[in-house]
Amino acid sequence: MSLFVTINNIDKIFSIPGGDDYIALKGINLEIKKGEFVSLIGHSGCGKSTLLNMIAGLDLPTEGIITLEGQKVKDPGPDKMVIFQNYSLLPWLTVHQNISLAVDEVMKGTNSSEREALVEEYINLVGLRHAIDKLPKELSGGMKQRVAIARALAIRPKLLLLDEPFGALDALTRGNLQEQLMRICDEYHVTSVMVTHDVDEAVLLSDRIVMLTNGPGSKIWGTLEVDIPRPRRRMEVVTHPSYYSLRSEIIYFLNQQKWVKKLRARKVSNLARHGLEKVNLELGYVPLTACAPVVIAKEKGFFVKHGLDEVNLVRETSWRGVVDGIVGNYLDAAQMPAGMPTWLTTGGYQESPLPVVSALTMTRNGNGVTLSKTLYEKGVYTASDFRQLLLDSVGKSHTLGMVHPSSMHNLLLRYWLAANDIDPDNDLNLKTIPPAQMVADLKAGTIDGYCVGEPWNLRAAVEGVGFTIATDLEIWQGHPGKVLGVREDWALQYPNTHIALVKALLEACQYCADPKNEQEIREILSGRSYLSTSIEYIQLGDPNQYSCNLNNSVEYAHHLFFGENVNRPSRTEHLWMMTQMARWGEIPFPRNWVEILERVCRVGVFGTAARELGIEVNYQRQPIALFDGSKFNADDPMSYLMNAKIHRNFTVAEVHLDGQRLSAA
pLDDT in tens, 370-379: 999 999 999 9
Q: What are 86's strand-pairing partners?
A: none
Are 131 and 162 a contacting pair, CB within 8 Å?
no
- Residue 105 confidence (pLDDT): 86
CA distance 634 to 571: 9
- Residue 384 confidence (pLDDT): 93
- Per-residue pLDDT, averaged over 483-496, amounts to 96
What proportion of the chain, given as a percentage, has pLDDT over 90? Answer: 54
- Per-residue pLDDT, averaged over 340-363, amounts to 95
pLDDT at 501 over 80: yes
Pick the more confident residue, 220 or 393. 220
- 651 Cβ contact list (under 8 Å, min separation 6): 588, 589, 664, 665
- Residue 548 confidence (pLDDT): 46
pLDDT at 154 over 70: yes
- Per-residue pLDDT, averaged over 115-128, amounts to 85
pLDDT at 660 over 50: no
Q: pLDDT tens, 394-436?
A: 778 899 999 999 999 999 999 999 999 999 999 999 999 888 8
CA distance 544 to 539: 10
pLDDT at 545 over 70: no
Going by C-alpha positions, the residue among 103, 99, 179, 101 that lies closest to residue 132 is: 99
CA distance 204 to 210: 14
User: 353 burial class (0-12, 13-18, 19+ CB within 10 angstroms)?
Assistant: buried
CA distance 209 to 254: 13
- Residue 148 confidence (pLDDT): 85
Q: pLDDT tens, 31-53?
A: 999 999 999 999 988 999 999 99
Q: pLDDT tens, 55-82?
A: 999 999 999 999 999 999 999 988 898 8
- Per-residue pLDDT, averaged over 470-491, amounts to 92
Dmax over Cα atoms in the chain, in whole Å?
95
CA distance 457 to 366: 10
- Residue 632 confidence (pLDDT): 86
Q: According to CATH, where is 3.40.190.10 located in the chain?
A: 273-363+479-540+561-664, 367-475
pLDDT at 664 over 70: no
Q: According to CATH, where is 3.40.50.300 located in the chain?
A: 3-259
pLDDT at 358 over 80: yes
Angle between helices 112-125 and 141-154 (to 10 degrees): 140
- Residue 557 confidence (pLDDT): 55
Of 202-216, 269-283, 497-511, which gets the smallest average pLDDT? Answer: 269-283
Architecture of the CATH domain 273-363+479-540+561-664 = 3-Layer(aba) Sandwich (3.40)
- Residue 306 confidence (pLDDT): 96
Task: Label the pairing between strands 159-163 and 333-337.
Answer: unpaired
CB atoms under 10 Å from CB of 665, counted, come to 10
Q: pLDDT tens, 273-308?
A: 778 999 999 999 999 889 999 999 999 999 999 999
pLDDT at 553 over 80: no
pLDDT at 161 over 80: yes
Q: pLDDT tens, 139-152?
A: 988 888 888 888 88
- Per-residue pLDDT, averaged over 204-226, amounts to 93
CB burial of 486-516 (b: ≥16 within 10 Å; e: otherwise) equals bbbebbeebeebbbbbbbbbbbbbbbbbeee
Task: Say how many residues make up the chain.
Answer: 665
Strand, helix or coil for residue 95: helix
CATH 3.40.50.920 fits 367-475, yes or no: no
pLDDT at 663 over 50: no
For the domain made up of 3-259, give the CATH fold.
Answer: Rossmann fold (3.40.50)
Confidence of residue 1 (pLDDT cuts 50, 70, 90): low
- Residue 546 confidence (pLDDT): 46
pLDDT at 221 over 50: yes
User: Which residue spans within 58-151 are E strands per DSSP?
Assistant: 63-68, 71-72, 80-83
Strand, helix or coil for residue 299: helix
Identify whether 229 is preceded by a cis peptide bond (ω within 30 of 0).
no
Average pLDDT for the chain: 88
- Residue 107 confidence (pLDDT): 85
